[in-house]
């Protein structure tokens, strides 16, 4: 018996984590593979016994896990974001919830043949979306502007609202079906209405009271450092779980609102740092979500498939095509949302773990009340979860691009640091029609960058709010160019939740310190080497101060075709220009900007353009290189960059010489080396 339980636990963990890893590899929504894995392991293959997953312990585990997930979601919400989208979020979690409730209930009544009571309950359950499905989808789509903020706030705050609504409906149904209520219908309805009002007020009062108490306890412990660092996360988890349980004991299912409010309050207080807590909760969330979906889908019986028919599919289509758009457009009345944003939000309502958990719990509690129809509730909700995640997950990104709310392949560059030489490089990238954004804590650097026509934001790259303060729409690469290796590594780690590790580049401070740091600091804590492994901040600054210039190399048009290589290396370039110091920065290939990183992977094709920092080589450098061969045909030709760039920025200081600005029409400039031919 213990061995069987241990095998079940191991199976749940392996399938939960493995499905999410596989989903990442094949770029599919993880919830689809989680539900499929649980269904296969449960009713199909029998690895997990569905009957063993019917106990009360399952719902207790599911309930507290959702409380933790909503706490983690609340940690990502900043109250400052509500200044521009507060009315839209408020309407979506009030008017939108009511419209969705009514629409889903009506569709369930007419198309699923549910009775009125069960239809109202199903509509309440399906009002929730959830951060576990919305946030990953937003991170994948990366929409522009405020629509991402609206969707994130709605996805996190609507879970406790929808769950409380569903609980109130459940309690009302149980009250109406108590013995004797059938003979006293009017009295039963009156008592039910009073129970709903009383229950709603108690939910709010208890959630606020317990949430505030838990928040002050947690902030007091963290800000006064009453626990060591290694216990900060466990103590936080302990207080969150305790607050959840106490709140639920005082008022049924109020714990979800309690933990959500605690997360929001903790994220917006200035007294204690929560970055490590956020990282811990994110890791815990991965484990919890994987386990929950595997367990809940494994509980299904094979007989549940009989409820997935054309009527159920039509019910799903009505939720997607009619109910959600109606909820969004009615909620957006009086707000500043544009029509493109309304359309995108109308196509973004995937259901998640809360809907699955609440449906499973309520079906268990109502089995004796509605024995004929209750078996259809859970399969229907699971169908809605799979259907909405699949539809929105596969079509949201193309829709966002069609509405011009997202870019198909973000090519913009975020520079951390805005020193003079970095601004010079950033202006060149901007001239290539790539979006540029700079972040620096030095107000003078930010001011000069703005004067030079570069979008710049003053802020600390390690600040917990920096990811919410800057608009990363259209930004696909991160270039860390600050003269501190430790801060650079922390910045790379901090931004890894937004950028892929392959798109994070880090510049060393000095060659000597970089070599030493590489030997001490784990590689996973660093970004990819920026502009080559041996290039450093100090080196680039020295080269710019001595007068090195940005140059463009391309394969010479006069070079014989029969002598051309498929690709050229850095050694080929140095063989021709042995008397020059050449630091490769970017390769411009088919309108894409490739950042030079590992020199072992550097290659230059015939149609490429290489942007490099070029100046006279030092004596010790030329002594190590073979002399150029004058009788050999030149494979490369060197061109000057856009003249406006040289006119606007002094080569030595990086300060603006004139009031000129980068050319707006780069492609059509006759002297532009990157103009399309």
380 and 459: one domain?
no
User: How far is the C-alpha of 580 from the C-alpha of 417, rounded, in Å?
Assistant: 28
223-255 pLDDT tens trace: 888 888 788 888 888 999 999 999 988 887 788
Six token digits for residue 423 = 């601004």
Could you tell me if residue 470 is inside a domain?
A: yes
70 and 113: one domain?
yes
Q: Is the pLDDT of residue 367 over 70?
A: yes
Q: What percent of the chain has pLDDT over 90?
A: 11
396 and 416: one domain?
no
pLDDT of residue 325: 95
Least confident of 67-71, 136-140, 377-381, 612-616: 136-140
Q: Is the pLDDT of residue 558 over 80?
A: no
Could you tell me if residue 631 is inside a domain?
A: yes
Contact by Cβ (8 Å): 19, 30: yes
Contact by Cβ (8 Å): 406, 397: yes
424 and 379: one domain?
no
Contact by Cβ (8 Å): 525, 493: yes
Higher pLDDT, 32 or 416: 416
User: How far is the C-alpha of 338 from the C-alpha of 327, rounded, in Å?
Assistant: 16
User: How far is the C-alpha of 77 from the C-alpha of 260, rounded, in Å?
Assistant: 10
C-alpha triplet 646, 652, 655: angle, nearest 5°: 70
pLDDT of residue 643: 43
312 and 282: one domain?
yes
Could you tell me if residue 662 is inside a domain?
A: no
Find tokens 């359309």 and name the residue.
343
Query: Mean of the pLDDT values across residues 88-105?
Result: 92
pLDDT of residue 195: 66
pLDDT of residue 2: 59
Six token digits for residue 346 = 């109308």
Q: What is the β-pairing status of strands 436-440 and 412-416?
A: parallel
pTM for this structure?
Answer: 0.67
Name the DSSP class of 413. E
Q: Is the pLDDT of residue 669 over 70?
A: no
User: How far is the C-alpha of 42 from the C-alpha of 625, rounded, in Å?
Assistant: 67
Q: What is the β-pairing status of strands 504-506 and 528-529?
A: parallel
For residue 129, what pLDDT band results from cuts at 50, 70 and 90?
confident
Range list of β-strands (E), 6-92: none
Contact by Cβ (8 Å): 559, 603: no
196 and 322: one domain?
yes
Could you tell me if residue 25 is inside a domain?
A: yes
| The 3-state secondary structure of 17-38, one letter per residue | HHHHHHHHHHCCCHHHHHHHHH
> For residue 134, what is the domain's CATH number?
1.20.1530.20
pLDDT of residue 123: 92
Last residue of a domain, one of 376, 402, 428: 402
Contact by Cβ (8 Å): 489, 521: yes
pLDDT of residue 210: 93
616-665 pLDDT tens trace: 876 655 555 555 555 455 666 666 655 444 444 443 344 444 333 333 33
595 and 536: one domain?
yes
User: How far is the C-alpha of 424 from the C-alpha of 422, rounded, in Å?
Assistant: 5
Query: Mean of the pLDDT values across residues 527-533?
Result: 79
Query: Mean of the pLDDT values across residues 541-565?
Result: 73
pLDDT of residue 651: 38
One DSSP character per residue, 499-545 reads: S-GGGEEE-BS-HHHHHHHHHHS-GGGS-EETT-TT-BHHHHHHHHH
440 and 335: one domain?
no
pLDDT of residue 562: 58
327 and 422: one domain?
no
367 and 443: one domain?
no
Query: Mean of the pLDDT values across residues 600-616?
Result: 77
Q: Is the pLDDT of residue 460 over 60?
A: yes
User: How far is the C-alpha of 357 from the C-alpha of 295, rounded, in Å?
Assistant: 10
Six token digits for residue 230 = 């290694």
Find which of 211-220, 284-293, 501-510, 575-584 is predicted with most confidence, using mean pLDDT. 211-220
Least confident of 108-117, 156-165, 604-613: 604-613
pLDDT of residue 677: 31
Cα atoms found within 13 Å of the Cα of residue 545, Cβ hemisphere only: 7
DSSP helix/strand/coil, 597: coil
384-430 pLDDT tens trace: 988 888 888 888 888 988 888 876 667 788 888 888 888 888 888 88
Q: What percent of the chain has pLDDT over 70?
A: 79
490-525 pLDDT tens trace: 888 777 767 777 888 888 765 544 444 444 455 556
pLDDT of residue 514: 44
The answer to whether the Cα torsion of 302, 303, 309, 314 is positive or negative is negative
Six token digits for residue 118 = 């069960």
Q: Which residues contact 393 (CB under 8 A, 6 or more apart)?
A: 28, 29, 32, 137, 140, 350
Contact by Cβ (8 Å): 602, 570: yes
Please give the mean pLDDT across all residues of the chain: 77
Q: Is the pLDDT of residue 261 over 80?
A: yes
Contact by Cβ (8 Å): 614, 581: yes
Could you tell me if residue 666 is inside a domain?
A: no
The count of domains in the chain is: 2
For residue 279, what pLDDT band results from cuts at 50, 70 and 90?
low
370 and 388: one domain?
yes
Task: Residue 170: count other Cβ atoms within 10 Å of its Cβ.
Answer: 21
Residue ranges making up the domain that contains 254: 2-402
pLDDT of residue 517: 45
| Ramachandran quadrant class, 493 (left: phi over 0; alpha: psi -120 to 50; beta: rest) | alpha
- Closest C-alpha among 133, 118, 124, 130 to residue 104: 124
Name the DSSP class of 303. G
């Amino acid at each position: 018996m213990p061995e069987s339980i241990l095998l079940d636990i191991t199976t749940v963990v392996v399938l939960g984590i493995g499905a999410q890893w596989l989903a990442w590899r094949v770029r599919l929504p993880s919830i689809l593979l989680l539900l499929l894995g649980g269904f296969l392991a449960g009713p199909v293959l029998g690895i997990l016994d569905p009957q063993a997953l019917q106990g009360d312990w399952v719902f207790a585990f599911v309930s507290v896990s959702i409380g933790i997930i909503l706490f983690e979601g609340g940690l990502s919400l900043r109250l400052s974001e509500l200044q521009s989208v507060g009315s839209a979020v408020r309407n979506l979690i009030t008017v939108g919830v009511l419209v969705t409730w009514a629409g889903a209930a009506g569709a369930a009544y007419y198309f699923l043949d549910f009775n009125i009571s069960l239809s109202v309950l199903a509509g309440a359950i399906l009002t929730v979306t959830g951060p576990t499905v919305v946030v990953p989808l937003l991170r994948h789509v990366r929409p522009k502007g405020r629509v991402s903020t609206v969707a994130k706030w709605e996805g996190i705050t609507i879970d406790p609202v929808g769950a409380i609504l569903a609980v109130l409906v459940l309690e009302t149904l149980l009250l109406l079906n108590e013995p004797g209520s059938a003979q006293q219908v009017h009295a039963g309805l009156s008592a039910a209405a009073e129970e709903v009002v009383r229950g709603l007020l108690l939910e709010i009062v208890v959630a606020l009271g317990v949430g505030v108490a838990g928040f002050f306890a947690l902030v007091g412990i963290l800000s006064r450092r009453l626990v060591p660092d290694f216990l900060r996360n466990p103590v936080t988890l302990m207080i969150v779980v305790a607050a959840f349980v106490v709140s639920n004991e005082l008022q049924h299912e109020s714990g979800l609102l309690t933990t959500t409010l605690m997360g929001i309050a903790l994220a917006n207080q200035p007294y204690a740092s929560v970055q490590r807590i956020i990282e811990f909760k994110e890791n815990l969330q991965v484990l919890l979500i994987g386990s929950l979906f595997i367990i809940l889908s494994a509980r299904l019986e094979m007989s549940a498939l009989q409820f997935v028919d054309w009527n159920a599919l039509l019910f799903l289509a009505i939720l997607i095509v009619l109910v959600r758009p109606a909820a969004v457009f009615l909620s957006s009345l009086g707000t500043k949302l544009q029509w493109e944003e309304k359309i995108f939000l109308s196509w973004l309502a995937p259901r998640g773990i809360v809907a699955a958990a609440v449906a499973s719990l309520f079906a268990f509690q109502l089995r004796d009340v509605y024995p004929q129809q209750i078996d259809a509730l859970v399969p229907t909700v699971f169908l809605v979860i799979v259907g909405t995640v699949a539809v929105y997950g596969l079509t949201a990104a193309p829709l966002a691009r069609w509405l011009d709310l997202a870019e198909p392949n973000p090519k913009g560059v975020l520079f951390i640091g805005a020193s003079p030489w970095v601004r010079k490089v950033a202006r060149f990238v901007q001239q290539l029609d790539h979006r540029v954004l700079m972040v620096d804590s030095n107000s003078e650097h930010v001011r000069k960058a703005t004067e030079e026509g570069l979008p710049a934001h003053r802020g600390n790259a390690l600040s917990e709010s920096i990811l919410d303060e800057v608009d990363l729409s259209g930004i696909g690469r991160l270039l860390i160019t600050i003269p501190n290796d430790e801060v650079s590594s922390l910045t790379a780690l901090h931004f890894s939740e937004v950028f892929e590790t392959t798109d994070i580049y880090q510049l060393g401070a000095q060659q000597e310190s970089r070599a030493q740091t590489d030997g001490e600091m784990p590689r996973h804590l660093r970004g990819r080497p920026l502009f080559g492994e041996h290039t450093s901040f100090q080196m680039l600054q020295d080269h710019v101060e001595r007068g090195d210039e940005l140059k463009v190399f391309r394969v010479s048009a006069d070079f014989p075709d029969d002598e051309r290589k498929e690709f050229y290396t850095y050694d080929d370039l140095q063989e021709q220009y042995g008397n020059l110091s050449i630091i490769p920065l970017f390769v411009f290939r088919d309108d894409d900007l490739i950042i030079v990183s590992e020199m072992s992977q550097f290659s230059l094709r015939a149609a490429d353009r290489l942007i490099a920092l070029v100046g006279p080589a030092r004596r010790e450098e030329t002594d190590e290189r073979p002399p150029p061969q004058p009788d050999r045909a030149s494979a490369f030709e060197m061109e000057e960059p856009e003249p406006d760039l040289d006119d606007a920025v002094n080569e030595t200081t990086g300060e603006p010489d004139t009031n000129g600005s980068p050319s707006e029409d780069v492609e059509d400039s006759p002297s532009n080396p990157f103009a399309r031919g």
